[in-house]
A and B are shown apart, each in its own frame.
Chain A
Amino acid sequence: MAQIVIKNLKKSFGDFVAVQSSSFTVEDGEFFMLLGPSGCGKTTTLRMMAGLELPTSGEIYIDGEEVGQKPASQRDIAFVFQMFALYPHMNVGKNISYPLVNQGMPRAQIKKKVHEIAEILGITDILNKPVGGLSSGDRQRVALGRAIVRNPKAFFMDEPLGALDAEFREHMAEELRALHDRMGATTVYVTHDQLEAMQMGDKIVVMNHGVVEQFGVPQDIYDWPATKFVAQFIGSPPMNFLDFNGTVGKGAVEVRLHDIAMAIPASLDGANGALTFGVRPEHVRLDDAAPYRGRVKATEYLGTTQIITLDTPNGVIKARVASSDAVKLGAMTGLSFDPRTITLFDGPSGRALRSHANQGVLARG
């Protein structure tokens, strides 16, 4: 089990820069998520960590040892591929034992070990079956078996649930997390699904266009996004952006939206010009007494809550309110925002302005 440190990692393919100087640390035993839209460089980052791609520059430390230019076979890590990549000409047992065969482990010991792993994963009954006819869930388990049989320093997983049905994915995600907790192994997991990342991860790195946008525990990232991209990528529906022109002084505790004062956490940065007022849908309240008004455009019923889409002077926003709130389409209603949860973003750069509320989170990642 190991700590993994990534320092200024960069990868370019010709003119195309896939990953630009990324740095982050995966602590020992963590379930670590690399999250981002497709093409953001998360898979390339993982492949560099695994040794399937060599970095253009930068360092990778596994357990303190620099392995950036070492081949995958010498890094003692396991990789679970999206399409599982089970050896099709071997049966389930052979697939699981294959990494051990290479280590020259005695046969009897291999057999014992494979049974032990099959026991953990609940696949003892299919050990002698060819992998061709297996369900995707069983393939997934075999792929996991092949990964854990060796007790590697770390597990790398590239969208391992991507090939599963939505229904089964949930179940497998739980199984994976339980397996991780049982083994206590450092796991780095690539996904484009923010829900999966929030649900399973101890820590999340959010990447976009080859750049690490933010890095931290799920709750920090959700509550205090460092950039507009993170605010929008995480959360469903995403954070609301109310664009306005104005000035925020250092220490300011309110901004003026459409000439109405809105309380914010005390700002530590000053800015003026194009700014964005960010608020999560669940922190928007329909409050008839509030001076800031919006018109109801649409409602989506979600059981215990409902999502209300409103037109405001600063753009369209969504509010998540209790289903019991009666809302009429086309009605004007007052809106208030929970002042403790507001994040302001600088318009051109998209970066969050530091405030008393988010400074701790932003300083960490």
Chain B
Amino acid sequence: MSFSVTEPSRGTKWFAGLLVVGYAIITLIPLLWIVATGFKSPTDSIAYPPIVVFEPTLEGYVNLFTDRTRATPEMLEAAGPPTTWYEEITRNRGTVISGPSRYGERFLNSVIIGFGSTALTMILGTAAAYAFSRFRVPLKDDLLFFILSTRMMPPIAVAIPIFLMFRNLGLNDTHLGMILLYTAVNLSLSVWLLKGFIDEIPIEYEEAALIDGYTRFQAFYKVVLPQAATGIASTAIFCLIFAWNEYAFAVLLTSGTAQTAPPFIPTIIGTSGKDWPAVAAGATIFLVPVMVFTVLLRKHLLRGITFGAVRK
């Protein structure tokens, strides 16, 4: 039998494959559970033992996106037959739709705040990382340590000062406030990660561009940025995931106009009994943007996640 040190044997490959698949199944079960619960009826969703095979319904999604009021049979009679499929679903529960829910708005808030803070973090972070990487900044090491030190305690430890500060500045429950907050939290890690990526890019590329007649700024965005794209993309994913999922500050600092989806989703439970399918539907939809973003940038992520340990 031939033996190779670099190529694992067939058995090893199978074993490794099984291990990965098994691990993937274990980590995916909660996700599958959430997605499945979104399509269950309220009764199925709290059945014990849990039901794996069930008749799917869109009731959870309808409840997620609508506000409903309970109606007497006479009122239902008077309203006439349901005209749409979602009205039919609510009628069967003895309720009528009184209007759209706030989920759409909250979701949009999450998009604005999540992507807004990610974009701002990337702009500031790349500029700062470039400066730290390339220029003789006075007190460079101290500044870098100071930047990192802002992450040495959990961000929520400063929740009360931030709350007071936001109230005095009128940033409470505003998109701008949340974007600034998430940017501040994400920036320290971003500067460090991005500095690592930019350090890896030989300075000669920029010097060549300078010699070729480009200005310092042109050299930065035409030569350095394309080279740093991998690092920027993977850093952006980290930032987005944090800003997207953040719950504690969102609960504390937003309540209406700028409320994001994470603090909103639990409030669905309270509106009309324990509506788990609607909560699950909200969570499922909430997962989509980060998944799409990550899939779009996955090539960069796979290369970037080694933090530049491997030379291209």
Contacts and interface: CB of A to CB of B under 8 A. Distances in A.
A79 B211 contact: yes
Contacts of B223: 87
Which 3 pairs between the two chains have the least Cβ-Cβ distance?
Answer: A85-B204, A99-B212, A85-B208
A87 B210 CA distance: 12
Contact of B207 (A52, A86, A99, A103): A52
B8 interface: no
B213 to A, nearest CB: 5
Contact of B205 (A51, A87, A99, A150): A87
A73 interface: yes
A98 B211 contact: no
B211 A102 contact: no
B215 interface: yes
A204 to B, nearest CB: 24
Given A77-B211, A81-B204, A85-B202, 6 more contacts: A51-B210, A71-B215, A72-B211, A73-B214, A88-B227, A150-B213
A87 B214 CA distance: 13
A98 B211 CA distance: 11
Residue from A50, A72, A88, A103 with most neighbouring chain B CB atoms (10 Å):
A72
B175 to A, nearest CB: 35
Size category of the binding interface on chain B: 10 to 19
Contacts of A78: 211
A73 B211 contact: yes
Residue from A77, A85, A89, A146 with most neighbouring chain B CB atoms (10 Å):
A85
A52 B202 CA distance: 14
A3 B210 CA distance: 22
A72 B204 contact: no
Contact of A89 (B212, B215, B226): B226
A149 B157 CA distance: 59
Contact of A81 (B208, B226, B227): B208
Given A83-B202, A87-B223, A88-B227, A73 B207 contact: no
Interface in B165-219: 202, 204-205, 207-216, 218
A73 B205 contact: no
Interface string A139-154: 0000000100010000
A85 B202 CA distance: 8
Interface of A: 50-52, 71-73, 77-79, 81, 83, 85-89, 98-99, 102-103, 132, 146, 150
B204 A83 contact: yes
A132 B213 CA distance: 24
19 contacts: A71-B216, A72-B207, A73-B211, A73-B215, A78-B211, A79-B211, A81-B207, A83-B202, A85-B202, A85-B205, A88-B312, A89-B227, A98-B209, A99-B213, A102-B213, A102-B218, A132-B312, A146-B212, A150-B212
A73 B226 CA distance: 21
Nearest to B201: A88
Contact of B213 (A50, A81, A83, A103): A103
B303 to A, nearest CB: 13
Main secondary structure of the interface of B (DSSP, over half): helix
A10 B312 CA distance: 38
A87 B208 contact: yes
A78 B211 CA distance: 6
A79 B218 CA distance: 18
Contacts of B226: 89
Contacts of A81: 204, 207-208
Contacts of A88: 205, 227, 312
A98 B207 contact: no
A201 to B, nearest CB: 22
Contacts of A85: 202, 204-205, 207-208
A87 B204 CA distance: 9
Contacts of B216: 71
A9 to B, nearest CB: 19
A98 B210 CA distance: 11
Interface string B246-290: 000000000000000000000000000000000000000000000
A338 B250 CA distance: 91
A88 B227 CA distance: 8
B212 A98 contact: yes
Contacts of B213: 73, 99, 102-103, 150
Residue from B207, B212, B213 with most neighbouring chain A CB atoms (10 Å):
B212
Contacts of B209: 87, 98
A72 B209 CA distance: 9
A71 B210 contact: yes
A87 B212 CA distance: 12
Nearest to A102: B213
A66 to B, nearest CB: 19
B134 to A, nearest CB: 12
Contacts of B211: 50-52, 72-73, 77-79
Nearest to B215: A73
A110 to B, nearest CB: 13
Contact of A52 (B210, B212, B215, B218): B210
Nearest to B206: A85
A219 B152 CA distance: 65
Nearest to B203: A85
B210 A73 contact: yes
Interface string B208-240: 111111111010000100110000000000000
A237 B297 CA distance: 59
Nearest to A103: B213
Contacts of B208: 79, 81, 85-87, 146
A86 B205 CA distance: 7
Residue from B205, B226, B227 with most neighbouring chain A CB atoms (10 Å):
B205
A76 to B, nearest CB: 8
Contacts of A150: 212-213
